[in-house]
Structure formats: structure tokens, C-alpha cells
Amino acid sequence: MAERIGLIGVGAMGGPMGQNLLRAGHALLIYSRTRARPEVEQLVKAGATYVLTPADIGRGAAVVITMVGNADDAKEVTHDVLSTLARGGLIIGMETIDPATRRLLDDEARGKGVEYLDAPVSGGTIGAEKGTLTIMVGSTKEAFERARPVLSALGTNIYHCGPIGAGAVAKLSNNWIYLASMATVVQASRMAQRAKLDEATTHEIWLKSTGDCVAVRTRVPFRKVVQNNPVDNEYRPGYPIEHALKDLKLIESSAKELGVSTLGLPEVISVYQQAVEQGLAKKDISAVADVIR
């Protein structure tokens, strides 16, 4: 069933997500803090309606999706939406933030008679464009089933992980594996290069052996061995290092809150921090290759 959906956060991820919602037949209201974005113009041309405030989104939509930059932004826009969204509405938070903030927003939403989903995504801009995102949901089962038709326009792998906060933990645990493995792949690549191994052969060995992982398949710091590798394209994102560093800090705080060992994590954070300090914040995470020598 087509819904009247509001989308807050129309950037590299939100833009293509909005296009997929329109293709699925949903009416779409959009809000972006920066009006003059190409993604906004593209959505308006495709049939979306731009509104001036998050509160306007709440007035005009039955389902609201947020895809903003951080926890503070999520708190601000969710609060504004809840000031106008009718009881029985649904908010789907899809940015990567901490589980504690998700629980706080759920409490605020329930106080207004609104259902809330903790629903971060994985798959990057390519997954957003193709509508093949992995979506990790923390919510009641009822809210999950209600949201499923909307989520199905955005992703092909949709999981109910448990109550509010479970989606956030699932996403952070995934990013921990990915970001740590990216740094490890660079270190292993440097080892192979110092030993003067053939890069294409080494890469094939890893692909056929236990070293295989997403970082090896898509972002190995060997030139011209992987198609569409950011390493061959001036580290164009992709997954910007500044976002990765934000996620790593969320991972660290959430792990500590849960009493989980963070062995090795401070060193991984340090690598991404150094990359930011070296002016690589906007570059893809594969640019940590310029930090690890």
C-alpha cells in the first residue's frame, strides 16, 4: 500500500533512497538542512515535494524516515517531527547512532502515541541506489511488520534484531568488523609490497583463502586489481573517513557500556583519527593506506 512518506536528510544516502521510495509509488515529502543540494533537485524533479521544516514533514506525512548525520541531529529533527505528527504515526530512524539515543527517541515517540523504529542500514551509496540495502531493525514486532512495505522499497535484506537499540548494536558490530579489517588489509598489503610479492597474485591468494573479506574484495590498496576500487579513483567515497571515525567512537562507547573488551580498537581509532588530521576526512576509508606505511 502506498504511503505518504516524509524523508529528512537528503544526501548521498537519502537522495537515492528517496528515488526508490518514489519508484515504489509512495508520495514523498523531503527536507534537507541544505536546500541547494543536487539530490534535492533530483528528487523534486522526480515528483517529491520540498518542505521548509521537519515540523512540516510531521504535518504532511504518516511515515517519517530520518537519515541525518549524528545523534544530536536525530534528536533535533525527531523532536520537531513529533511536535506535529499525528498519533498513530511511524518514525524510522536509519542513520547510524548509539543505542542509548535510540531508546531515548523511542520513549519520546511513545509518549506522543507514535511508533519508532531503530533501523540503520549497510550497503553504502551503491546499495542505496540499487535498493539493495541491508536494514537492521530494533522495534516491536508490530512496528516492524507495519514498516516492512516501506523498508522493502529500500533494501533486500531486512532483519528484525530485537527491541529498540538492537538495530543500532547490530550495525555497530558490523562496522567494527569492517573498519578494523580495512586497517588490517592495508597492513597485510604493506607486508606483501615490502617483500616484493606480485600484487595481483597476492590478491587472488587472499580471495581464495581465509583472508577473504569485503575490504579485500573491494578496497585492497593494490592498484588496478579490483574494479571500481576507490584506491584507483583518488579515494572517492564510498564511506568517508569522517563517518568511519564517528562510527568507531560509537562502537567504543557502546562496547564499554555493554562490558565488552575493546582490545585493539584504540589502535584502529588512532589510524582513522590520523587520517582525519592529515586532511583525508572526506576521502573513502581506503585512504587509511596513506597513513599506514
- Does the annotation mark 45 as catalytic? no
Rounded Cα distance between 223 and 235, Å, is 12
The cell for 246 is 564517528
Compute CA 39 distance to the chain's CA centroid, rounded to the nearest angstrom.
17
Rounded Cα distance between 151 and 138, Å, is 13
As a whole number of Å, the end-to-end CA separation of the chain is: 54
Rounded Cα distance between 123 and 128, Å, is 7
Q: Which of 130, 141, 171, 246 is catalytic?
A: 171
Give the residue among 175, 206, 173, 204 at the shortest CA–CA distance from 188: 206
Q: At what angle do helices 241-257 and 265-277 cross, to 10 degrees?
A: 150
The cell for 193 is 609490497
Give the containing element (helix H, strand E) for 91. strand 90-93
The cell for 263 is 582490545
**Residues annotated as part of the active site:** 171
